[in-house]
Structure 1
Amino acid sequence: MSDADLEEIRRARLQQLQQQGGNSRGGQEGGQEDKQQRESEARSHILGQILTPEAADRLGRIRLVKESRATDVENRLIMLARSGQLRQKVTEEHLKDMLNAVSEQTRDAEKVRVVRRKGGWDDDDDLLDL
């Protein structure tokens, strides 16, 4: 092999390594996307097994309106399924009960309680000193 051939091989190899280096970041992102897709597929598979078609339809409609609430309910259902607490498929009525429980918890968590301290500095005190 001549020096020109070796130089051409080096350039090709360098270009290949640079492409792989550029793709390694894309590969990590792609790997993360693949992982998210697998998790999403696993979630939908579990939910398909534990929900009746009517309940799955209602959960889908809820997702259109408020995705966070649907995700909370899905997480609860998956947790119950994995712990073996579900003995039968979840019906639409059971799903409604669970939605009510989640909405009550979020209402309690969203309440803002304001506590004002008495005494201390007050803007009205400045007016009295005039």
Structure 2
Amino acid sequence: MGDDELNELRRRRMEDIQRQQQQQGAMDEEMARQRQQQDAQIHMVLMQILEPEARERLNTIKLTRPEFAQSVEKQLIILAQSGRLRGKISDEMFKGLLAQLTPQKKDYKITRK
């Protein structure tokens, strides 16, 4: 192989890599846009079913335990879509729901002899 052939192969390979990166960037942008759209829909549903105090409590939970907050949001949306919610959820009702969803902690008592 001559230098011209090697340079041509390198140029083609570089073009392929750049094309793949552009396609990946476009896919990433589309996924980000879809994620933002889903987040906006979730936010709108939560605005409809939660009173302001309960929303504040959920936002506080998001800061400390994001995975748990996400699962709570999913549960609330499922309840709303299935029609099991009557009216908005107050802060007291939300506390009760959180108590049901929070895993129970086990206490261990160690006694020394």
Q: Same fold (TM over 0.5)?
A: yes
* Bigger relative contact order (CA 8 A; separation at least 6): 2
SS state at 2:89 partner: coil
RMSD: 2.1
CA distance in structure 1 between the aligned counterparts of 2:100 and 2:71, rounded to whole angstroms: 11
TM-superposed CA distance for 1:19, in Å, is 6.5
Is 1:107 the counterpart of 2:104? The answer is yes
Structure number with greater Rg is 1
How is 1:84-103 mapped onto 2 (pairs within 5 angstroms)?
84-103=83-102
The two structures have a TM-score, normalised by structure 2, of 0.72
Match of 2:33 in 1: 34
**Unpaired segments of 5 or more residues in structure 2?**
1-14, 107-113
In 2: Cα distance, 1:23 partner to 1:68 partner: 32
Higher mean C-alpha displacement, 67-76 vs 25-34:
67-76
Question: What percent identity do the matched residue pairs reach?
Answer: 32
CA distance in 1, matches of 2:19, 2:82: 43
- Inter-partner Cα distance in structure 1 for 2:66 and 2:87: 25
TM-score, length-normalised on structure 1? 0.63
Question: 8 Å contact 1:69–1:102 — kept in the other structure?
Answer: no
Unaligned residue ranges in structure 1 (runs of 5+): 1-14, 111-130
Q: Name the residue aligned to 1:59.
A: 58
